[in-house]
Structure 1
Amino acid sequence: MFKLFVLAVALTCISAAPQGQSTDGQAQTLSNTSSDDGVGNFAYAFETSNSIKAEAKGSLKQLKDDQGKETAGEVQQGSYSWTDASGTTYEVKWIADENGFQPQGAHLPTTPKAP
Structure 2
Amino acid sequence: MFKIILVTALLGFAASASIDSTAEIRSFSNVPADAEGNFAYSFDTTNGIAVQESGNIAGVTGAAQYISPEGIPVQITYKADENGYQPSGDLLPISPPIPEAIVRALAYIAAHPSQEERGQKLIVKSIPFKG
Report TM bin, short chain. Answer: 0.5 to 0.7
> What is the CA RMSD across the aligned residues, in angstroms?
1.7
SS in 1 for 2:21: helix
* CA distance 1:25–1:109, change in 2 (3 Å): same
Which structure has the larger Rg?
Answer: 2
Runs of 4+ in 1 over 2 A off after TM superposition: 21-25, 111-115
SS in 1 for 2:86: strand
2:107 corresponds to 1:107 = no
Greater fraction of residues in strand: 1
Alignment gaps of 5+ in structure 2: 1-16, 101-131
Matched with 1:14 is none
Please, what TM-score do these two structures have when normalized by structure 2? 0.56
Percent identity for Structure 1 against Structure 2: 34
1:27 offset after TM fit, Å?
A: 1.2
Amino acid corresponding to residue 91 of structure 1 in structure 2: Q
SS in 2 for 1:25: coil
Please, what TM-score do these two structures have when normalized by structure 1? 0.63
Alignment gaps of 5+ in structure 1: 1-20, 61-73
Stretch of structure 1 that moved more, 74-83 or 36-45: 36-45
Greater fraction of residues in helix: 2
Matched with 2:110 is none
1:24 offset after TM fit, Å?
A: 2.9
Amino acid corresponding to residue 28 of structure 2 in structure 1: N
